[in-house]
Chain A
Amino acid sequence: MPEKIDPTLISEVRKYGHFDVDACYACGSCAAVCALSKDSALFPRKSMRHVQVGLREPLLASLDPWLCYYCGDCSKTCPRQTEPGESMMTLRRFLTAQYDWTGLSARMYQSPAWELGALAAVGAFMALLIALFHGPMVMDRVELNTFAPVMTVHFFDWAMAAVLSFFLLSNVARMIWNTMFRGGSAAPLQSYIEEAWSLAWNGATQIRFRECGKNTARWAKHFLLVTGYGLMFVMIVLFLPWFQTDAIHPIWHPQRWLGYYATAVLAVFTAEILWSRMKKEEQIHRYSDLSDWLFPILLLLTTLTGIAVHIFRYAGWPLATYYAYAVHLIVCVPMLVIEVPFGKWAHLTYRPLAAYFQAVRENAARRREQAPAGPQGAEAQPA
């Protein structure tokens, strides 16, 4: 069946940020210069074209926006200065909103009021919870685990993780449905199994990021940031009782240097991201959506308040420690609740998955090629 052209698509996509496709005459230099685009995924040109022409379903079915790491080469090359790199960024926001069945993501991306309001609301709710349910405040010494009993917090962590996972996974399911099943020939299970290693490998290393553009320092920074973030996540969600202790460990203790490493990495690189976005020197930093700001700002604030908690605790200032801890949670929780399933942070999930699905598709295509030409064998895979 021929695809029906949807003239409203472009104006809808534009609500998610910059999408200057007007000046584009589809010359192809963006896809030619892109280090990551290949026969099976000729982005950004195809994605640009989906939107320009109004091909909604093929756009939803495509993984291309997730395969782009935004080195900015295409934008630098574009003879019409249409900023295809930024358009891919916009498409990632658009797709995140499309995967999200709650509609919250769309609302928040399209409206700063919604996004800030949601963060504020969760923050306020958090403040209320702390105010109501915090433990006794021991004032002669710092007893954080009395103020915030570690098992309570830990339980709360788990509960929050469960809720987030629910939203995230249900959105992921929609992503899989859109990209791997709807409207096209599904890949055989075998392809999924064969390519499973790439999910783990890419997710752990973001190695594809290294191939993007000439600037490998970006991958290194991003990788370190992810290690810091991952480490922190593991320590808080899985090992909080070990991590949040009142005992002050000696400096060689792994709890301390793991914590220091994660905090340092997070603080330095989020600060660096913010600094670059302010300077706007690099192509990728020329445009900044609110979501681009909020994500590093919240992460940096979480880190800084975490550091403050740590310092006050060591300094032996009980009240400062408790307040800092409260603020820490008031920043950290909305960040996780809002940004992870509905915001920019979702790329943490979608991007490795997209790379995996792409590998599955290619695997399936290879299989089709090798198999004797059946009714579908001759056809190219769906876009």
Chain B
Amino acid sequence: MSEAAVAETAQTDIQNPDPRIIAFCCNWCSYTGADLAGTSRLQYPPNARIVRVMCSGMVHPNLVIDALTKGADGVLICGCHPGDCHYIDGNCKAEKRAEAIRLMLEDFGLEQERFRLEWVSASEGPRFAQVMTEMTEAVKRLPPSPYKVG
């Protein structure tokens, strides 16, 4: 999809203009990538809130499900690219768990788009900004979280 097309659909399909997104970022790659997006002054939508964890493999599936069932519109886990994990292969474990999480989403009546696992390295500031933008755009096209209070 071209950028213009994305912008257009974003205009027309928006169901939730101000979603809340929680991003669990690993300390060594993705959080550093987020910092680099900052030092590079790359602009992205302000909807996500980053929770720093040491490794993407540290994120318990319950954290994701709890966040989504307590009203988060989207949850993102960001880790190192495969092979880059500071803890050998924590990110691969995160990937396996992500499959389980995706299965659980259905049980809770949640759309698959509400959860993502992305690899962002420490030197990928632009990629971090892009992931943030894509996730926000995707979640905006969904209705607000059915679990949202009030």
Q: Do chains A and B touch in the complex (CB under 8 A)?
A: no
Chain B residues engaging chain A, CB cutoff 8 angstroms: none
